[in-house]
Amino acid sequence: MNKKNIFPFLDENLSIEERVNDLVNRMTLEEKISQMKYNAPAIEHLGIPEYNWWNECLHGVARAGLATQFPQALNLASTFDTDLIFQVAQAISNEARAKYNDFSKAGMTDIYQGLTFWSPNINIFRDPRWGRGHETYGEDPFLTGEMGYYFIKGLQGDDEKYLKLVATPKHFAVHSGPESDRHIFDARVSERDLRETYLPAFKKCIIEARAHSIMCAYNRLFGEPCCGSKKLRKILREEWKFEGYVVSDCWAVEDFYEHHKVCLNAEEAVALSVKMGTDLCCGNCYSKLLDAVKSNLITEEEINVSVKRLFKARFLLGMFDNPDKVPYSKISYSVVNCQKHNDLSFEAALKSIVLLKNDGLLPLNDNYKKIAVIGPNANDIEVLLGNYNGTPLNPVTILEGIKKKVGNKAEVVYEQGCNLVSSLLHFEVIPKECFFTEDGNQGLLAEYFSKKDFEGKPLFTKIDESINFNWWNGSPDNSLNRLDFSVKWSGYIIPKYSGYYQFDLKEQDNLKFYFNNKLVIYKKEQLNNFTVKLEAGNKYKIIVEMPSYKRDNFIQLFWAYDNPNLLEDAIKLAKESDLIILSLGLSPIIEGEEMDVNLPGFYKGDRTNIELPDTQMNLMKALYALKKPIVLVLLTGGAISLEWANENINAILLAGYPGQRGGDAVAEVLWGGFNPSGRLPVTYYKSTNQLPPFKDYNMKGRTYRYLDDIPLYPFGFGLSYTKFLYSNLKLSKERIKPDEDLFVLIEVQNIGDLPGDEVVQLYIKDLKSNYEVPKISLKGFKKVHLLPSEKKIIEFKIKPEYLSLIDDENERVIEPGQFEIFVGGVQPGFNDLNPTSNYVSTIFEVVGDLFLID
């Protein structure tokens, strides 16, 4: 019999509340508990399919094979462009739905194949040493809230009945390193810092953007683990009226008893977590909920609350409805990495690039006949993508982008110059020139089998030039079933240079690598790289086996070797060149989430200082000594100390982690095809000495809002190839009541020779408060395009809450008194630093009594 004739919860005419209640009432306690784990099993007698809640889409669908890779989140913040981030989120959610639709048709329900995405990361990037900071929208709560709002709106869609997907802002709350301590750390902050810095973005994303999920953090806050916090539950459920579900960070509930020591055992931990509102566990310990019920630590009724929240989300996603009635079920796989999205990634990369210094060298002209591209980040794909990334089809490195842009107008030559960090080798796909078959021809013999595990005879054989594949949306040949084939490559490697080589396999987790007939790498069992000494010109037998294909993933064979002549070769090349484009910075292989990294300046994913690694500084100084024109292109997540470079290098371009079209975007900006318009979403400090202790979560001395010193580059900073002039600042009133809106008009004109985008920034300063307040705070921004001589009037609305503060009784109030408004293309106080823009200011007054706003 059709289940639709049996179960009311499958009746689409009923309300979601009625359907959820019917479904949950039919489940046993054991079945309810099973649905509170991220890898929820099927409930066969109810026709409920298994579902994996774990998915990521920070700047593109992640870890699920082919997907358009947009610039990293911090790059997106540097665009200061809410329309753009909304378009990016729409593109990501289209690809997410397309992948889900395709996975569902194939009966696939694994991790990274669902519709519940654990993005965006809206933690405050309070300290540049935090390795995950590039996942965020920077150091400012207002900018973070605005970018998070539009990202979530783009992800979740605008259908009246269905969610396109579920967005999950994270990590709630007060979470930003150190990575090495995140499982034990207790963040102790003032109520003022909590309410004025750490919570505003979450509040906006929950109340205004209506994110349907939120992820709680690993750390404790005021002694309570965030996934079991009475204070955070009160804020979220009572103050903000949040009706969605809470998911724990992965294995965070286990930390209650293993690291935080606030519970004696798993039963106590899971009971506390659910009682405090954590509905879904990314981990294994919620299986202990049954024992917790039996021990009277929690009731089935309390568990029902969480289970109903989870199934409400699945109903909102249309998982139990006729696909024909769910508009998003019609999105086809053809949108994945389509040309439109590729173009959008290019646009986002262009608009995210920040010009930090220019002595007139940029934009470049065509007079340079030989251009040396040098640096460890110049020809690296991983550094384009940041972390939490997917797999782009044709990523463009900085070197490749420059070669395409220059064409035959100049010779472009490349040397790595140095390792990213001393003792850290640079991995690359093994070049095709190093592979040879048994009979001496270039390439490898490839045997393709129509079944998994090389069953039977090969369906066909051919020569593959290298092992560097991504058979997206299919298989290498129409005769092969994309879910049921295997491949074996064999031949020889002949290296060009002698030295110690490390080998590694990327993406596919079931590849086997045989070296001289010995199995040396099998990803499921051996995660360490294989190292061996090779002699130039000698041949070494290799076999690579892929017993089955994991859809959409790269199949790649990498190597790295220690070349002692890197610096010498770079200097020789630079001497022969007319221009040096130097690509330095950091990489997601050394800054990121809880990494197994312990190198000079780097520990567990964080940095111990913000200076460039010595290897890179030595390279830059050696090239500077040649007295050649140099453009420094920085690919980095966190801010770097650039004092020496700012004093000595001709031009500095910050590209961040720019996504799959990063190389094209950098080249376009360098040669003036696009006028740089990115602005810093973080402060660039002069040195580590300007930073408070990393573990101190108090905001005093941190970020532009509380820094008493002068930074190298302020928040909001960025140069242009043209000039903008601000004038005629007008207010709707000069005296307002505390509950009134204030309207601000500003005139901005392009007084230069080139068209360009300008980021109009509005800051507010409380001139005389009885309480601790930020020096200034961003409270408005708009991106505007202006042709030469063009003039536009921009309007801002100042809402009452923009003037509010936390008083000594921890109440949010608006204090009567004078406020100053600054509007321009640069943070107030830094006109001299930015010759391409200015700011203007005026004063207004709030009259009346102290006004309670919440």
pLDDT of amino acid 479: 86
The answer to whether residues 704 and 776 touch, using CB atoms and an 8 Å cutoff, is: yes
d(CA 670, CA 514): 44
Kindly tell me if the per-residue pLDDT of 524 is higher than 60.
no
Q: Which of 132, 62, 88 is nearest to 389 (CA)?
A: 62
Domain boundaries, given as residue ranges, for the chain: 3-322, 340-425+565-706, 428-561, 724-852
User: For residue 561, what pLDDT band results from cuts at 50, 70 and 90?
Assistant: confident
Q: Which of 250, 229, 192 is nearest to 697 (CA)?
A: 192
List phi, psi (to 5°) of 371.
-115, 125
User: For residue 506, what pLDDT band results from cuts at 50, 70 and 90?
Assistant: confident
Lowest-confidence range among 30-34, 83-87, 594-598, 717-721?
A: 594-598
pLDDT of amino acid 425: 79
d(CA 33, CA 557): 43
Kindly tell me if the per-residue pLDDT of 664 is higher than 60.
yes
Angle CA(464)–CA(537)–CA(498) in degrees, nearest 5? Answer: 110
Instruction: Give the containing element (helix H, strand E) for 725.
Output: strand 724-731
Q: What is the mean pLDDT of residues 310-318?
A: 98
The 3-state DSSP class for residue 599 equals strand
User: What's the pLDDT tens digit per position in 143-170?
Assistant: 999 999 999 999 999 999 999 999 999 9
Q: Please name the residues in contact with 15: beta carbons below 8 A apart, sequence gap of 6 or more.
A: none
Q: What is the mean pLDDT of residues 754-772?
A: 96
Instruction: Give the containing element (helix H, strand E) for 750.
Output: strand 742-750
- The more confidently predicted of residues 6 and 824 is 824
- Residue 487 pairs in a beta bridge with 448, 546
pLDDT of amino acid 525: 47
The 3-state DSSP class for residue 356 equals strand
d(CA 271, CA 111): 26
Q: Which of 527, 656, 502, 530 is nearest to 596 (CA)?
A: 527
User: For residue 523, what pLDDT band results from cuts at 50, 70 and 90?
Assistant: low
d(CA 468, CA 453): 20
- The more confidently predicted of residues 429 and 473 is 429
- How far from each other are the two terminal CA atoms of the chain, in whole angstroms? 55
User: For residue 841, what pLDDT band results from cuts at 50, 70 and 90?
Assistant: very high
List phi, psi (to 5°) of 472.
-70, 145
The residues annotated with a catalytic role in the active site are 249, 591
User: For residue 1, what pLDDT band results from cuts at 50, 70 and 90?
Assistant: very low
The answer to whether residues 489 and 544 touch, using CB atoms and an 8 Å cutoff, is: yes
Q: How far is CA 122 from the centre of its chain?
A: 10
Count of Cβ atoms closer than 10 Å to residue 382 Cβ: 16
CATH match for 428-561 among 2.30.31.70, 3.30.450.20, 2.40.50.140, 2.60.120.260: 2.60.120.260
Q: Which of 586, 529, 173 is nearest to 376 (CA)?
A: 586
Lowest-confidence range among 127-131, 312-316, 826-830?
A: 826-830
Measured CA distances, 22 to 36, 41, 496, 502 (Å)? 18, 19, 69, 58
Q: Which of 398, 300, 379, 420 is nearest to 27 (CA)?
A: 300
CATH match for 724-852 among 3.40.50.2000, 3.40.50.720, 2.30.30.240, 2.60.40.10: 2.60.40.10
pLDDT of amino acid 508: 63
- The more confidently predicted of residues 358 and 850 is 358
Kindly tell me if the per-residue pLDDT of 825 is higher than 60.
yes
Q: How long, in residues, is the chain?
A: 854
The answer to whether residues 847 and 740 touch, using CB atoms and an 8 Å cutoff, is: no
Q: Which of 579, 753, 750, 783 is nearest to 670 (CA)?
A: 579
Count of Cβ atoms closer than 10 Å to residue 562 Cβ: 15
List phi, psi (to 5°) of 293.
-65, -45
Amino acid at 268: E
- Residue 116 pairs in a beta bridge with 166
- How many Cα neighbours within 13 Å face the side chain of 337? 21
Kindly tell me if the per-residue pLDDT of 400 is higher than 90.
yes
User: For residue 529, what pLDDT band results from cuts at 50, 70 and 90?
Assistant: low
pLDDT of amino acid 4: 47
d(CA 666, CA 353): 8
Percent of the chain at pLDDT > 90 equals 87
Kindly tell me if the per-residue pLDDT of 550 is higher than 90.
no
d(CA 665, CA 456): 48
pLDDT, the chain, mean: 95
Lowest-confidence range among 5-9, 38-42, 814-818, 843-847?
A: 5-9
Q: Which of 715, 707, 691 is nearest to 608 (CA)?
A: 691
CATH superfamily of 340-425+565-706: Glycoside hydrolase family 3 C-terminal domain (3.40.50.1700)
Q: What is the mean pLDDT of residues 382-396?
A: 93
**DSSP assignment, residue 320?**
T
CATH code, residues 3-322? 3.20.20.300
The 3-state DSSP class for residue 830 equals coil
pLDDT of amino acid 482: 73
The 3-state DSSP class for residue 80 equals coil
Give strand ranges (E) for 315-367: 354-358
Amino acid at 96: A
pLDDT of amino acid 5: 56
What is the residue whose two structure tokens read 């690993």? 218
d(CA 718, CA 676): 8
- What order do you get walking across the sheet with 579-585 strand by strand? 354-358, 651-654, 630-635, 579-585, 370-374, 411-415
- What order do you get walking across the sheet with 606-607 strand by strand? 598-599, 602-603, 606-607
d(CA 352, CA 523): 36
What is the residue whose two structure tokens read 């039996």? 294
User: For residue 563, what pLDDT band results from cuts at 50, 70 and 90?
Assistant: confident
Q: What is the mean pLDDT of residues 410-434?
A: 90
- The more confidently predicted of residues 482 and 782 is 782
pLDDT of amino acid 31: 98
The answer to whether residues 256 and 263 touch, using CB atoms and an 8 Å cutoff, is: yes
